[in-house]
Structure 1
Amino acid sequence: MELPNAQETDSPPIAKKRRIPKACASCRRSKLRCDEKRPCSRCVSTGNACVYFERPKDPTEERFEKIENALSGIQERLNVSHGQPSPVATHSSISFEDDSLASTRSVVTRPPVANGHSDFTLREPSTTDLISSGLCSEQDARSWFRTFFLGCDRFVPVFDTTMDTFESVRARSSILFDIIVSYGCRAATGVLSRHYQILYSLLRRHTSDLILRLSASPDRPPLLEDIQGLLTIASYSDSGAVLADIALKAAVQAGLPVGLDSLFASILDTSSSDQGLATPRSLREARVWYGLFVLDHILSLDGGKPSSVSIHSSPRRVRALVSHPERTSTDLRLFAQVELNAIRSTARSSLTRDPVSATLSPDSISRIVNGTLLDLQIWLSEWQAIEFGDASSTTEHPVLLLNLRIQHAWAVLTLQLWALTASGVENIALMTDSQRNIALAAKSAAEQHLQLLLTNVQMPGDAPSMPYVANLCYAMEFVWAKNAFCILIVLRLGILLGDPPNSLIQRLTEAHQFLHELDKAGMGSNISYMRILAQTVDKCERAVKASMRAEERNSAESSDTDFQSFIPKEFMFEWDFPGLNLCYIPFDWQDLFLDFGTTA
């Protein structure tokens, strides 16, 4: 049988049907499965579903691809959280099936903080006060709040008792409320009481809270209550210089100086029918600004810190606020200090040594001192008249008038001591007549200051008392340091200038009386400055008694030297009181050469 020809018997090859790709270009490039059941985003937008057939992948290869895609997603989120541009993510983000990858995802998607870093978060300041936190009862809080406004507000005069009530302050600012209650507790129970020690740790936290709040929201104007809180802490804190500058910066950001200009402009606007009545908040802001001004000058003139704010207009301009209807009796104390510290600041700047000649001439020093003494006397007489004319604080007249005299004596004392420093002579034995006269004037001012501290005042309805010493439990740190220094300098100048023993015994008696009154006022717990006062009196008393015994001349010289060299470390590192470098070292050159000749 004949086989058929191959060409005849073989059927023509069946042409392979060409597959028409139904996948879109995007899916073909990315090689992703896309069908009617799971269409890609592009196909959903066009309303069509594409089908693309591909060779099944190896399971191991598919697993590696999932891991690569997961790592790519993590890197993308990290770039976004750090503010870096990242390519637009495709729809290939896979679900995190692995627990470790899922935990990684929860970390990197944490909302970033204000500084743009997702690895750090800032602590939120506390919003609950000490009553809600259980640190003290409401009854104690109310009692200590009242104590604060019995005297602390006189030393930190930036509050108004008609507005800053218990309920009002607590509702407006939990931090300011805690600060007021804490320092009221300090005045009522003492620095070393367990109550105050508990609240002191809270004050440290609130100091951090206030600084953190100002740092975390630099674009938002600071609250007036936050500035008041910082200023109060600065007044009672060892770090007052730093905190005062932070409060000053916050006050500038809040626009307090601009508000002060607006307040003065409203007073000058005589055409307005409600002149000065529509700006109660402006007076509150002015009060806080002037409080910062006074604290800055105290810390610069008496604490050695660089002055952070100065006044270019006349300080007498503050008297325009005396007639403001919202003005309080405590404001008079504040406004008077604004003028006083401006006068002191001008004198201190004038007595600064000339960088060329290194010292001022005696005539220049005399002219500056006499001019400043005249300004201080005018200040005292005019503010006494203003106080007498104030009908709103008749019960406080005696105390306020006494405070004016004490502040005047302090200003005169520091002025004379600054003048001695400017003369460039520390050894009283080598002073000229004019320099010695300045030293004698400083001694007289120091003695007057001590006697004013012990002045009895007849209060309305009460027996005569020493109100200044009794109110020291409310005082800020500067007042404690100032009084300790004044007792030290009055005794030292008495010895250095050769006062007779009877006069020195009188000064020692007054110093003992001051210490006794402090004990009666319950201030023995302030260990630091009580120790300074006690050591001052003890060392001076030994020196005086030894000098009165002629047979113990060597011992007298030793005691005198011991007292002259006594400078408490608090005055060296925390304050910058003048006159502590004064000494008396006699040089008899004729006797010295005579001794050499005799020896030869």
Structure 2
Amino acid sequence: MDASTPLKRSSTEADLDSPKSSALPQPRPTPKISKARACAECKRHKIRCEFRAGESNCTKCIRSGIKCVVNDFSQKFVDDDGIWKSEATASIQQLQAAVSQLLSQAGLPDLSSYTVGDTRNGPSPVTSHNTHRSSIGTSHPHTSHQEGPGVVMDVTREPSQEADLQNPDLVPAPMRSLYEVTKLSNLRNNHTEAPRKTLLEEDFITRGLISIHEAEELFAYFSRTMNQLLWGGIILVHHDLTSVRRASTLLSAAVLTVAALHIPNRTATLNRCYSEYVSLVSSMALTRAHTLDDIRGLCVGAFWLSELSWKLSGHAVRIATEMGLHQSYQRLTRGHTDQYKRAQLWYLLYVCDHHFSIAYGRPPVIHEDIAIRNCETFLELPMVVSGDFRLLAQVALFTILTEAYRMFGSDTEQALIESDFNQLRVYNVAVDQWRLLWQPRSADSPYVRTYPSKGVVLHYHFAKFQLNSLSLRGLSPSNTPSFSMDRKESANIAISSAIACLNMVLEEPDIRDAIVGVPIFTHTMVTFSAAFLIKVAMNWNSAYLSINARQVRQIVERVIELMNCVSAGERHLTRHIARGLGKMLERFDSWEAAWQVGASDGSTVDARDIPGGTNAMAQGFPPPDLIYDMVGTYGFGLDENLLDPSMANFEFLAQ
């Protein structure tokens, strides 16, 4: 074999010399599936099957006028595979959408934050709104129970970076350090979420619980009345129903419930809205995702729904502190103007908390922190509105009353000693100065006219009455010989202030016109004033106090007439106040008649001898459960037929 003849190399040698050689066999390429479209007719005649552009039948079948049927099993496999994949993709997308919605309702992280094998895929510690339909003091027939193994505690670690050991913040909150070390998600604080954009499509109005037309009407009524009475509309910052529905279903339910309560002949609407509101409040009890509008929704209910007021105000304060609202004032003073609404809401919560701590004779939750002590600095900000002055006036007043509460306590059996009256005069002077400062700063309103400035005067009389009524706390007419001049002076101030409260409600047109829409604190103090005067006239006349029984009866009669004549819903608090005061007045008239008979024959009459009469003036500060104890709605018998059977758990004055 000569040199010019090429050598034939074996396949083994060629593989060894090849730069791509490998000891492992190379994978075989995946065979391509044929997509031949020869129809059955052409295959039968063994001829070529031709298709023209845009035609679904071959040329032979067209000429023969028969149906062109493709008989290719490989193509059928490709088509079936494509159909299965498209169906599977659609199913996965549906599941992802459903899971995302459930996570959003439960306040859990977005679906994209979950990975395969993530421990957070286990049962969530937070239940959805539809799972927990139980309410505060209310049971619903449609309560559903969670099935399965039950709720488990979340011990998930956050996928966040490790702690920065050089962080200059050396003294954080203790729980923050615990979270920094453990990374447990259930230890996170200040956890909030933005309002969901699908609330409007899922809320109780969309579900048909109430028509959109009636909802618009109720919203408009609340906006121009109750919202304006409560410090110029700062509690409801939304100008239309659609906006508030998108922001917070809880707030929209609260607004419609309160509006339905104030409008006559809306009992059925009130029932539905109230049930929805209580259900929403219950479902959010253990969640951590809240907004400022959710807090406003709790406050709206607290200010106007008497049977829920104490629980709602406390719940709102707890959520607000979790969201850091108590720190908003400091941030605002450091130049963060975006904290204005949050600081304003903190002041509103302070007043809401103290409305009911004072009314129920219980210690308040919010103390006088730096924001409360420096409220004047807040009013110097350029973005404040007239409603802020009205709100901060209340803050300043309740600061005085809270200090007196801490000084004298709320023990109904603890009478003031003589040395206490010096401090009581200090508080009286502070209230006098409060009126001089804040009445000129309260501007008139186009909605409620002179109510802002006249309201300052009304609350001035409330405060003077509250403070000086303590002079009779824990005493009875049997120890009147030891009645000192200081005690008698203070008691007479309480009497004159109570009369002034009632006269303002009766004589001032803007106060009288607003008496239906005001928060229940005003109703409480009006009731307290009337009941106080009746009891003093019956029990303390022998102490030679400045009180006239006939004048008391006349003024209370006028208050009852006003409460009966106002335009309000059948379950409004004014109806119960009128009924309770009427029962008290009947017993007062019986006592007065017996006293006149006794005066004519020289005998004495004790109030204890009158059916339903009272003896001790054991006031708290003011007495616990004001309306209930002072009006005597229960002791004098509440008409049980007033409430529909369907509203057995909807008693604004629950027995």
CA drift at 1:165 = 3.2
Equivalent in the alignment of 1:469:
512
Q: Distance in 2 between matches of 1:216 and 1:181?
A: 23
Choose 225-234 or 405-414, whichever is displaced more. 225-234
CA drift at 1:314 = 8.1
**Residues 186 and 333 of structure 1: CA distance in aligned 2, closer, same or farther (over 3 Å):** same
- 1:257 maps to a residue whose letter is H
Among 371, 393, 396, the alignment partner of 1:339 is 396
Equivalent in the alignment of 1:540:
588
**Residues 251 and 367 of structure 1: CA distance in aligned 2, closer, same or farther (over 3 Å):** same
- 1:443 maps to a residue whose letter is I
Q: Distance in 2 between matches of 1:470 and 1:553?
A: 46
Q: Distance in 2 between matches of 1:334 and 1:429?
A: 41
- Write out per-residue CA displacement over residues 473-529 of structure 1, whole angstroms, 9 at most, x where no aligned residue: 223333323222210102222333327999322222121112222222124834432
**Residues 536 and 353 of structure 1: CA distance in aligned 2, closer, same or farther (over 3 Å):** closer
Q: Are residues 1:369 and 2:424 paired?
A: yes
Question: Could you say what secondary structure the match of 1:473 adopts?
Answer: coil
- Write out per-residue CA displacement over residues 243-288 of structure 1, whole angstroms, 9 at most, x where no aligned residue: 222211110111111112122333xxxxxxxxxxx72x42221222
- Write out per-residue CA displacement over residues 344-388 of structure 1, whole angstroms, 9 at most, x where no aligned residue: 11112122399xxx876413x12211111111011001101212x
**Residues 496 and 203 of structure 1: CA distance in aligned 2, closer, same or farther (over 3 Å):** same
Equivalent in the alignment of 1:563:
613
8 Å CA contact 2:561–2:578 kept in 1: the answer is no
Equivalent in the alignment of 1:5:
none
Which consecutive unaligned segments of at least 5 residues does structure 1 have? 1-46, 48-108, 267-277, 457-465, 582-600
Equivalent in the alignment of 1:73:
none
Q: Distance in 1 between matches of 2:546 and 2:330?
A: 56
Q: Distance in 2 between matches of 1:577 and 1:362?
A: 30
Equivalent in the alignment of 2:461:
409
Among 547, 560, 575, the alignment partner of 1:515 is 560
CA drift at 1:138 = 1.6
8 Å CA contact 1:353–1:359 kept in 2: the answer is no
Q: 4+ runs of 1 displaced by more than 6 Å? A: 115-118, 499-502, 552-555, 576-581
Q: Could you state the TM-score of these two structures normalised by the residue count of structure 2?
A: 0.59
- 1:575 maps to a residue whose letter is L
CA drift at 1:418 = 2.5
How many pairs does the alignment contain? 437
- Name the structure, 1 or 2, with higher relative contact order (CA <8 Å, separation 6+): 2
Among 312, 317, 321, the alignment partner of 1:243 is 312
In the TM superposition, 1:106-185 aligns within 5 A as: 111-114=122-125, 119-120=149-150, 127=199, 128-154=202-228, 156-157=230-231, 159=234, 163-185=238-260
Choose 246-255 or 433-442, whichever is displaced more. 433-442
Equivalent in the alignment of 1:28:
none
**Residues 293 and 210 of structure 1: CA distance in aligned 2, closer, same or farther (over 3 Å):** same
Q: Distance in 2 between matches of 1:375 and 1:185?
A: 39
CA drift at 1:199 = 1.6
- 2:259 maps to a residue whose letter is G
Q: Distance in 1 between matches of 2:227 and 2:417?
A: 43
Equivalent in the alignment of 1:216:
287
Equivalent in the alignment of 1:259:
328
8 Å CA contact 1:489–1:579 kept in 2: the answer is yes
CA drift at 1:438 = 2.2
Question: Could you say what secondary structure the match of 2:301 adopts?
Answer: helix
Q: Distance in 1 between matches of 2:281 and 2:616?
A: 35
- Write out per-residue CA displacement over residues 27-53 of structure 1, whole angstroms, 9 at most, x where no aligned residue: xxxxxxxxxxxxxxxxxxxx9xxxxxx
CA drift at 1:428 = 5.4
Q: Distance in 1 between matches of 2:578 and 2:408?
A: 32
Q: Are residues 1:484 and 2:527 paired?
A: yes
Among 449, 452, 461, the alignment partner of 2:501 is 449
Equivalent in the alignment of 2:625:
574
CA drift at 1:142 = 1.2
- 2:243 maps to a residue whose letter is S
Q: Distance in 1 between matches of 2:308 and 2:287?
A: 22
Identity of aligned residues (%): 18
- 2:431 maps to a residue whose letter is L
CA drift at 1:160 = 5.5
CA drift at 1:551 = 4.9
Question: Could you say what secondary structure the match of 2:441 adopts?
Answer: helix
In the TM superposition, 1:347-366 aligns within 5 A as: 347-352=404-409, 361-363=417-419, 365-366=420-421
**Residues 395 and 522 of structure 1: CA distance in aligned 2, closer, same or farther (over 3 Å):** closer
Q: Distance in 2 between matches of 1:515 and 1:353?
A: 29
Equivalent in the alignment of 1:187:
262
Q: Are residues 1:225 and 2:293 paired?
A: yes
8 Å CA contact 1:425–1:431 kept in 2: the answer is no
8 Å CA contact 1:114–1:216 kept in 2: the answer is no
Equivalent in the alignment of 1:506:
551
Equivalent in the alignment of 1:39:
none
Question: Could you say what secondary structure the match of 2:243 adopts?
Answer: helix
Q: Distance in 1 between matches of 2:213 and 2:569?
A: 26
Q: Could you state the TM-score of these two structures normalised by the residue count of structure 1?
A: 0.64
CA drift at 1:195 = 1.8
Q: Distance in 1 between matches of 2:460 and 2:494?
A: 13
- Write out per-residue CA displacement over residues 123-159 of structure 1, whole angstroms, 9 at most, x where no aligned residue: xx99422320112222211111121123322565573
Q: Distance in 1 between matches of 2:512 and 2:417?
A: 40
Question: Could you say what secondary structure the match of 2:401 adopts?
Answer: helix
Equivalent in the alignment of 2:451:
399
Equivalent in the alignment of 1:385:
440
Question: Could you say what secondary structure the match of 1:385 adopts?
Answer: coil
8 Å CA contact 1:547–1:553 kept in 2: the answer is no
CA drift at 1:554 = 7.0
**Residues 442 and 120 of structure 1: CA distance in aligned 2, closer, same or farther (over 3 Å):** same
CA drift at 1:172 = 1.3
Q: Distance in 2 between matches of 1:531 and 1:189?
A: 18
- 1:491 maps to a residue whose letter is I
8 Å CA contact 2:462–2:497 kept in 1: the answer is yes
In the TM superposition, 1:408-447 aligns within 5 A as: 408-421=460-473, 427=478, 429-433=480-484, 434-447=486-499
Q: Distance in 2 between matches of 1:502 and 1:335?
A: 35
Return the structure number with greater helix share: 1
Choose 243-252 or 436-445, whichever is displaced more. 436-445
Q: CA RMSD in A?
A: 3.9
Equivalent in the alignment of 1:42:
none
- Write out per-residue CA displacement over residues 285-325 of structure 1, whole angstroms, 9 at most, x where no aligned residue: 12221111112112222212332111044846223333544
CA drift at 1:198 = 2.0
